[in-house]
Amino acid sequence: MNRLIRLLPLVVLLRATNGHATEPRVQDFTLDDHIVYAVPVSGARVTTISFPSPITAIDGALVTMDGKTPGLFQIAHTKGTAYLSLRALAKDAATNLNVRWNNRTYAFELHESAEPWYSVVLQSKPEKTNRIVGPLTPPRLLGLLDKAKAFALLRTQEPDAVAGVEYRDLREQPLVSDCGDYEVRLTEAFRFPDNDTIVFHLVIANRGDAALQHTPERLEVRVGDRVFTPTLTDLVSTIAPHESTIGYVVVSGGSGGRNDLSLKNDFTFVLSRGGPAVEINTPDSKDIEPAPLPQ
């Protein structure tokens, strides 16, 4: 009885902080390795606990993975996945479960119940937006570029490192800037809100019979009737005939104020070649979408 009394305030706290659940059987929590998550589990239903990325390890008392070994709860988990499923094997069963994720241990108190939760979704803590961000020095810009380049790996292995990064995946249907004898395809875009910086991943294709030479730092990023120039580039300046190259362009807000551009905009890209200006279609200024306001 004393044990149940000690658990009750915690369960009430978790229910009170659950602002995103659509109904009692589906729960959303922010990850916190200093609390215990009390999870009701049934023998007739499956409860699935989901993490933001793959789980490292699971330790539990009186649990079984194969259903043959004696235990009070059965766990189903495939190595490399970000979730585990639970089912109670005995009436009034109770135990604890520890899950290792992102170099931290998260504790769960499991108890058999006639009213189980079906799904528990655990989310990373949102990145604080009121912290003071230093000036965008060259090393900081290089750090943002490196983070964009490693985004896929970081999102899987170190999700907290990219928790505040907005991402637009256009690899299946790139945004194409058709500039005659060359084209620029936008395949991915990464926005770092605290730094008011967007990193563009581009593919540039030379359609012509001669080498294409341009000045990377003078490339134009157009959004409606606004034109932005890079604060940092990782592009080659010469592209062989009928060849393609990939690279990155970084655009940040400057001394004139923040850009606060949404990744939903139709960005177009024009290379600086020292010849006649290239005319391409760009959206009207009324179509420019601002970045979403901080939560």
> In angstroms, rounded to a whole number, what is the distance separating the alpha carbons of residues 65 and 76?
6
pLDDT for residue 257: 65
pLDDT for residue 163: 87
The average pLDDT across 77-106 equals 94
Inter-CA distances, 244 with 146, 156, 207, Å:
22, 29, 9
* pLDDT tens digits, one per residue of 51-84: 999 999 999 989 998 877 889 999 999 998 999 9
294 inside domain:
no
* pLDDT tens digits, one per residue of 195-241: 899 999 999 999 999 999 999 999 999 998 899 999 999 999 999 99
Are both 105 and 209 inside the same structural domain?
A: no
Helices first, then strands: H and E counts in the chain: 3, 21
276 inside domain:
yes
Are both 156 and 279 inside the same structural domain?
A: yes
> In angstroms, rounded to a whole number, what is the distance separating the alpha carbons of residues 177 and 270?
8
What is the CA angle 232-237-238, rounded to 5?
160
Are both 269 and 142 inside the same structural domain?
A: yes
62: helix, strand or coil: coil
Are both 239 and 163 inside the same structural domain?
A: yes
Are both 75 and 114 inside the same structural domain?
A: yes
- Which residues does 71 contact at the CB level (< 8 Å), separation at least 6? 62, 63, 64, 89
Closest CA to 207 of 234, 230, 178: 178
Q: Which of 123, 148, 175 is the last residue of a domain?
A: 123
Q: Above pLDDT 70, what percent of the chain?
A: 80
Q: Which residues pair with 182 in a beta bridge?
A: 206
Are both 9 and 116 inside the same structural domain?
A: yes
- Count Cα neighbours of 148 within 13 Å in the Cβ-side half-sphere: 29
pLDDT for residue 130: 44
7 inside domain:
yes
Are both 214 and 168 inside the same structural domain?
A: yes
The average pLDDT across 256-264 equals 80
Q: How many domains, in total, are found in the chain?
A: 2
> In angstroms, rounded to a whole number, what is the distance separating the alpha carbons of residues 248 and 233?
6
Are both 107 and 157 inside the same structural domain?
A: no
For the chain, what is the largest distance between any 2 Cα atoms, rounded to a whole number of angstroms? Answer: 83
Task: Please determine, for residue 255, whether its predicted confidence score (pLDDT) is greater than 90.
Answer: no
Residue 153, token pair as written in the block: 């790996």
In this prediction the pTM is: 0.54
292 inside domain:
no
The average pLDDT across 43-52 equals 95
131 inside domain:
no
* CATH number, domain with residue 143: 2.60.40
Are both 54 and 165 inside the same structural domain?
A: no
> Which structural domain range is residue 82 located in?
2-123
Inter-CA distances, 21 with 7, 18, 51, Å:
21, 6, 16
